[in-house]
A = this chain, B = another copy of it.
Amino acid sequence: MQEIRLASRPSGWPTADNFELVELPTPELGPGQVLVRNQFMSVDPYMRGRMNDVESYVAPFEVGKALDGAAIGEVVASNAESVPVGATVVHGLGWRDYAVLDAKRVRVVDPSAAPTPSAYLGLLGMTGLTAYVGLLDIAQFREGDVVFVSGAAGAVGSVVGQIAKLRGAKRVIGSAGSAEKVRHLIDDLGFDAAFNYKDSSVRDQLRAAAPDGIDVYFDNVGGDHLEAAIKFLNKYGRVALCGAISQYNETSAPAAPRNLALAIGKELNLRGFIVGNHNDRMPDFVAEVGGWLREGKISAQETIVEGLANAPEAFLGLMRGENTGKMVIKLGE
């Protein structure tokens, strides 16, 4: 089996040298354990924070040890009755082609309920739940709201925008980093307006896209996106602080937002969240989003990279915004 380890900690932008692919013998299974052949693994922006030696909501990766993250695969050996050989399971040991886990650390899923197993890492997984919880619970979305989402062509943002439309948003606006992504948002995902943040200032483009202001901002980016959103948020506006990808690889503190004091008079509510504490919403999420998926009302593009050895480069591409929708690595044959 093979795994990818953290070879060294990056300062600023990571490089291929920070990762190391290692060959290992297949381990023995202990009692109650299963051997999973991973089919897909996820790369996510939050992993960048775990490459730093900083205490956060998840422990940092350790130098010289394998990285981890969401993965889905097939059980090929089992010492646990509850999880038989042949089961498809979601678990937390990505960044390797085979994983050994206690049976209670895997979740059995029905591969026939999804268009592809990788959907359990994206639209039907933590990514989709992040969008669902962030929009509905954290930002307290209400029918008739004008919603702005940054990183809108990304794994989370693309789901946020679609849920907002399906739940009755008055207008959904997205920002992304290329003309093709902007086209995708409007033509494929049904956004009402979208812009390429590289074309000119976020502030000017958001002003043009939101003539009546915005009620909800779902932030995946931070920095000048957040500052522009604060400027154009309406009274009682709500912000879900989900990510800040604009600053994960910066070594100096961001200059923006500089206008947080506007939150006083506008009575804004800004809430940070991480999805791990909202698993109680999984049943509602699966029922509602799974239903839309079956009815063909929601879709999720994926950017698929093949082979474990290419996972580090895929992760770096994710940080550069090279994905549309969920970035996943296809493993094995």
Question: Which residue numbers of A lie inside 8 Å of B, CB to CB?
Answer: 49, 56-57, 222, 226, 235, 241-244, 247, 253-255, 257-274, 277
Contact = CB atoms under 8 A, between A and B. Distances in A.
Q: Which of A57, A222, A265, A273: most chain B CB closer than 10 A?
A: A265
B272 A264 contact: yes
A222 to B, nearest CB: 5
Nearest to A56: B265
Q: Which of A255, A261, A262: most chain B CB closer than 10 A?
A: A261
Given A253-B258, A258-B255, A274 B267 contact: yes
A257 to B, nearest CB: 7
A57 B265 contact: yes
B260 A260 contact: yes
As for how many copies of this chain the complex holds, the number is 2
Nearest to A223: B261
Contacts of A241: 260-261, 263-264
B257 A255 contact: no
Q: Which of A56, A243, A260, A270: most chain B CB closer than 10 A?
A: A260
A264 B277 contact: no
B277 A272 contact: no
Q: Which of A222, A264, A266: most chain B CB closer than 10 A?
A: A264
Contacts of A266: 57, 272
A217 to B, nearest CB: 13
